[in-house]
Chain A
């Protein structure tokens, strides 16, 4: 462990060196403009680049006045400036040039879009003139210009992901620039909107995530783990085995069925293989978290029925900030005497973008209303350094990061080890990324990524004789090489944008300890495509993916579970999502998916005790792919003061893979044998999200999620499916202050799988207060959260340790984050 800390310390020193170098270089100007320098980025991401935003706050009116002058005195120049703001630049230029010569009596509309609560500019708003069906995109500083308008009254609609839509009438006078400013109200509901407008947002991605958590919402819900951070999202639950090894569950799907990514690449850990294996992502330094659903998820995986969770840290810089900036966070909580801290910094030197981050988390045993849950302390440390050379042709970037963690699994549940198990893990990763900006309509960008990851994990049992955790129960060593190449285009045939790509991965899997699972080499290859198509009022998203995977055990041998041999599997997945606006406020979408999940090494070949799961797991070398088919229907209503989104889904699996008790015990260790098997299965459910503005600043939000799953041939429930869950959130915002209260609730779960225990329903109340203050170019944010105010004893159905201890008791959590 000391050696690993030493390695991280070196990484940190390097990061600090480059950051200091970056500070010295602050103020250097960039001579060449490239798409990466032009500042295309999501508004919420811009929180990390607050100095830019603050600068915008300080001088928005000067900017507008200059533009107004330009509009009056130099219409042609102004028109060219406006080109960048429009989605249809060629058409716009033609119109403007004609206007300048033949119709000088036209007018324009200028204005700004600012956050009604913070006053910060809202970057890249979409501005639509409804009567003309013309749309454009605002600037990073919140300003927008719509030039070349015939005199008259127009309906102007402004919208942006994360904000409620605003519509206002505007009168355009000949030869005049009419000023109109919008104060947009943030809206959690609106952030879930499916947007089809905008280019180069989302770090150059072609898709728009269905859910995106950032800014204030992320700060409020920031938890010890990614799963805890996401648990309040519709359809989301967390599967836990103590506080550290928690994994998100979406629509009852987890493990390999809910892919977790960091910066769009696999985590390179073994968190999918068992509930006690932690996810190697700490959310404290994340910029934002996005959830992809539908065909866009096929860019990353063939197995995305529920979706893909992508945590964006931005480890490889994609822009050249003008000065040194970043974010520093400190969070403390009482329920486990936990302290976590994070620092992420950005700077540039010439055309070299530099990013460094460091995170630390320390926590003692967690307290519950019934006492302390022993062996649940956490220690983790992560850090990374990223460098990018950015010019007008694209970027060449590199990043390296390390993640170290040590945590415990409680003992004494369902016959597990009486003293629990200690788990130590380490992950080291290096990434190389090459972006080539082709600047052709049929090929906008080529992106090449290579990631190397080394992961080590060991589970230590307690030795009563030596009074120490020194018996190795299980070890895992995983080397992963991943290569992706993506070709992104704008208009191409029927498609308005899209991407094609190839994915290749090699994994070397070396289990150790008390396990008879063989060493394997796994090779995966995939071709994928994703397209956005607009047909009249219909917006279509289509994805197609072909995967081939081969798993090669080091030696082919006949065992008690069958012949361990090379397995090669190939299949095709795909999806189609169609969205249609029924009216200006009501829209609907339907999504059809076919997913493929290849069986993993554990499912095929594992043989060994897994003490934290109290099982002796055996694979099944004859397993085939898990094929899923799903339909998802959504209805969305969005008015100025009320929003409602409802969705229902139905998934079927022809070969749902899961471990099933054989009724036998292992000879090698007295544990019940669970063998992986495939069964037809079905999952169905619904989610509702509603939001209403009661009066100015007071907002009520509610979510409700339900899913049930069955093994259809056996006519029995799938184990570990969450019950009906929901949340009601009342929030009042005035200026820079926000206060609120929420109630989380769940019904009892009596639909039980094999060997499952029922769980009672619960209601838990939380409260929170947030504030942010700007001082010069710094913004200070405070987030105080009181969880489980009443110290209620409750148990979550997906907790594996619920039999011995309930969920955490009353907790006071304070987060301070400074953007500089």
Chain B
């Protein structure tokens, strides 16, 4: 019996020790975003619905665009934690390259004529907390960046 007890006690102690682990891991709860170009919303997502599109000239870089994320209540999210940052990427870097220029700003660079999909997300450390619907981007030969809703 003594032997059995000596076997059980360390096992139960180890079990209780492990059971005590309870640290959590928070995520942002995002319901959408707005992309501003010169204080005008050029792309917007609410829930799963995306509106707007962007076009950019070949061989040129767009003006800086700012992203504001929206919470489930429809309010603008003010993200101050330095663990979070903007992540933008292009589905086809032979056509379009996306570059993050600030904490929540980015530019687009047209490489060749065509279309590509832009992804806008929030990185939390080494993983995403949010990733947008694919934003269609046209790379054209015109001189102006245009936007429409």
Given A470-B126, A513-B127, A519-B25, A668 and B30 touching (CB < 8 A)? Answer: yes
A666 to B128, CA, bound (A): 14
What residues of B have a CB within 8 angstroms of the CB of A512 in the complex?
25, 127
B128 pairs with A667, CB closer than 8 A: no
B129 at interface (Cβ–Cβ under 8 A)? yes
CB distance from A476 to the nearest CB of B (A): 12
Instruction: Report B93-111 CB contacts with A as 1/0, cut-off 8 Å.
Output: 1000000000000000000
A667 pairs with B32, CB closer than 8 A: yes
B89 pairs with A463, CB closer than 8 A: yes
What residues of A have a CB within 8 angstroms of the CB of B31 in the complex?
667
Given A464-B93, A667-B48, A554 and B22 touching (CB < 8 A)? Answer: yes
What residues of A have a CB within 8 angstroms of the CB of B129 in the complex?
514, 668
Chain A contact residues, CB within 8 Å of chain B: 432, 434, 448, 450, 452, 463-465, 470-473, 475, 479, 481, 483, 506, 508, 510, 512-514, 516, 519, 521, 554-555, 664-670
Task: Among A434, A506, A513, A670, point to the contact of B18 (Cβ < 8 A).
Answer: A506
Q: List 30 A-B contacts (CB under 8 A).
A: A434-B3, A448-B7, A450-B7, A452-B14, A463-B89, A465-B89, A471-B127, A471-B128, A472-B126, A479-B18, A479-B21, A481-B15, A506-B19, A508-B19, A510-B21, A510-B23, A513-B127, A514-B129, A516-B27, A519-B25, A521-B19, A554-B22, A554-B24, A555-B24, A667-B30, A667-B32, A667-B48, A669-B128, A669-B131, A670-B132
Within 8 A of A (CB), among B45-98: 47-48, 89-90, 93
CB distance from B54 to the nearest CB of A (A): 18
B24 pairs with A473, CB closer than 8 A: no
CB distance from A472 to the nearest CB of B (A): 4
CB distance from B112 to the nearest CB of A (A): 16
A519 pairs with B24, CB closer than 8 A: yes
What residues of B have a CB within 8 angstroms of the CB of A472 in the complex?
125-127
CB distance from B94 to the nearest CB of A (A): 11
CB distance from B20 to the nearest CB of A (A): 9
Name the residue in A512, A519, A670 with the highest tally of chain B Cβ atoms < 10 Å from its Cβ. A670
A103 to B51, CA, bound (A): 103
B146 at interface (Cβ–Cβ under 8 A)? no
Which residue from chain A places its CB closest to the CB of B90 in the assembled complex?
A464
What residues of A have a CB within 8 angstroms of the CB of B126 in the complex?
470-472
A471 to B87, CA, bound (A): 11
Within 8 A of A (CB), among B120-149: 123, 125-134
A670 to B128, CA, bound (A): 13
Excluding A464-B90, A514-B129, 20 further A-B contacts by CB distance (< 8 Å) are A434-B7, A452-B14, A463-B89, A464-B89, A471-B123, A473-B127, A475-B127, A479-B18, A479-B21, A483-B15, A506-B18, A508-B21, A510-B21, A510-B23, A510-B25, A512-B127, A555-B24, A669-B130, A670-B48, A670-B133
A667 to B7, CA, bound (A): 51
A479 to B11, CA, bound (A): 14
CB distance from A11 to the nearest CB of B (A): 20
A670 pairs with B127, CB closer than 8 A: no
B48 pairs with A514, CB closer than 8 A: no
CB distance from A484 to the nearest CB of B (A): 11
A514 pairs with B127, CB closer than 8 A: yes
Which residue from chain B places its CB closest to the CB of A463 in the assembled complex?
B89
A417 to B48, CA, bound (A): 19
Task: Among A471, A481, A508, A666, point to the contact of B11 (Cβ < 8 A).
Answer: A481
CB distance from B10 to the nearest CB of A (A): 8
What residues of A have a CB within 8 angstroms of the CB of B48 in the complex?
664-667, 670
CB distance from A664 to the nearest CB of B (A): 8
Given A471-B126, A506-B19, A481 and B14 touching (CB < 8 A)? Answer: yes
A167 to B42, CA, bound (A): 88
A510 to B22, CA, bound (A): 9
What residues of B have a CB within 8 angstroms of the CB of A664 in the complex?
48
CB distance from A550 to the nearest CB of B (A): 12
Which residue from chain B places its CB closest to the CB of A474 in the assembled complex?
B127
CB distance from A479 to the nearest CB of B (A): 5
CB distance from B117 to the nearest CB of A (A): 10
Name the residue in A450, A481, A668, A670 with the highest tally of chain B Cβ atoms < 10 Å from its Cβ. A668
CB distance from B36 to the nearest CB of A (A): 21
Given A448-B4, A472-B126, A483 and B131 touching (CB < 8 A)? Answer: no
6 closest Cβ pairs, A-B complex? A472-B127, A513-B127, A472-B126, A450-B11, A669-B131, A481-B15
CB distance from A568 to the nearest CB of B (A): 16
A57 to B37, CA, bound (A): 86
What residues of B have a CB within 8 angstroms of the CB of A666 in the complex?
48
What residues of B have a CB within 8 angstroms of the CB of A464 in the complex?
89-90, 93
Which residue from chain B places its CB closest to the CB of A446 in the assembled complex?
B4
What residues of A have a CB within 8 angstroms of the CB of B89 in the complex?
463-465
What residues of A have a CB within 8 angstroms of the CB of B22 in the complex?
519, 554
Which residue from chain A places its CB closest to the CB of B4 in the assembled complex?
A448
CB distance from A514 to the nearest CB of B (A): 5
A667 to B131, CA, bound (A): 8
CB distance from B87 to the nearest CB of A (A): 8
B11 pairs with A483, CB closer than 8 A: yes
CB distance from A397 to the nearest CB of B (A): 12
Which residue from chain A places its CB closest to the CB of B18 in the assembled complex?
A479
A452 to B125, CA, bound (A): 30
B15 pairs with A506, CB closer than 8 A: yes
B131 pairs with A508, CB closer than 8 A: no
Given A448-B4, A665-B48, A667-B32, A481 and B131 touching (CB < 8 A)? Answer: no
CB distance from A265 to the nearest CB of B (A): 14
CB distance from A2 to the nearest CB of B (A): 18
CB distance from A509 to the nearest CB of B (A): 10
A521 to B20, CA, bound (A): 9
Task: Among B14, B19, B24, B131, point to the contact of A668 (Cβ < 8 A).
Answer: B131
Which residue from chain B places its CB closest to the CB of A518 in the assembled complex?
B24
Which residue from chain A places its CB closest to the CB of B32 in the assembled complex?
A667
B21 pairs with A670, CB closer than 8 A: no
Given A665-B48, A670-B131, A508 and B18 touching (CB < 8 A)? Answer: yes
Which residue from chain B places its CB closest to the CB of A448 in the assembled complex?
B7
CB distance from B116 to the nearest CB of A (A): 11
A669 to B47, CA, bound (A): 10
Which residue from chain A places its CB closest to the CB of B100 in the assembled complex?
A465
CB distance from A258 to the nearest CB of B (A): 27
A481 pairs with B18, CB closer than 8 A: yes
A25 to B24, CA, bound (A): 51
Given A471-B128, A508-B19, A670 and B7 touching (CB < 8 A)? Answer: no
Which residue from chain B places its CB closest to the CB of A511 in the assembled complex?
B25
What residues of A have a CB within 8 angstroms of the CB of B127 in the complex?
471-473, 475, 512-514
A471 to B119, CA, bound (A): 14
A514 to B21, CA, bound (A): 21
CB distance from A198 to the nearest CB of B (A): 29
A508 to B18, CA, bound (A): 7
Name the residue in A471, A666, A667 with the highest tally of chain B Cβ atoms < 10 Å from its Cβ. A667
CB distance from B119 to the nearest CB of A (A): 9
A667 pairs with B47, CB closer than 8 A: yes
A607 to B87, CA, bound (A): 22
B18 pairs with A514, CB closer than 8 A: no
A554 to B27, CA, bound (A): 15
What residues of A have a CB within 8 angstroms of the CB of B90 in the complex?
464
A450 to B27, CA, bound (A): 36
A463 to B123, CA, bound (A): 12
Which residue from chain A places its CB closest to the CB of B27 in the assembled complex?
A516
Which residue from chain B places its CB closest to the CB of A434 in the assembled complex?
B7
A800 to B81, CA, bound (A): 39
What residues of B have a CB within 8 angstroms of the CB of A483 in the complex?
11, 15
What residues of B have a CB within 8 angstroms of the CB of A516 in the complex?
27
CB distance from B6 to the nearest CB of A (A): 10
What residues of B have a CB within 8 angstroms of the CB of A448 in the complex?
4, 7
What residues of B have a CB within 8 angstroms of the CB of A519 in the complex?
22-25
A479 to B21, CA, bound (A): 10
CB distance from A67 to the nearest CB of B (A): 40
A448 to B134, CA, bound (A): 56
What residues of A have a CB within 8 angstroms of the CB of B14 in the complex?
452, 481
A432 to B9, CA, bound (A): 13
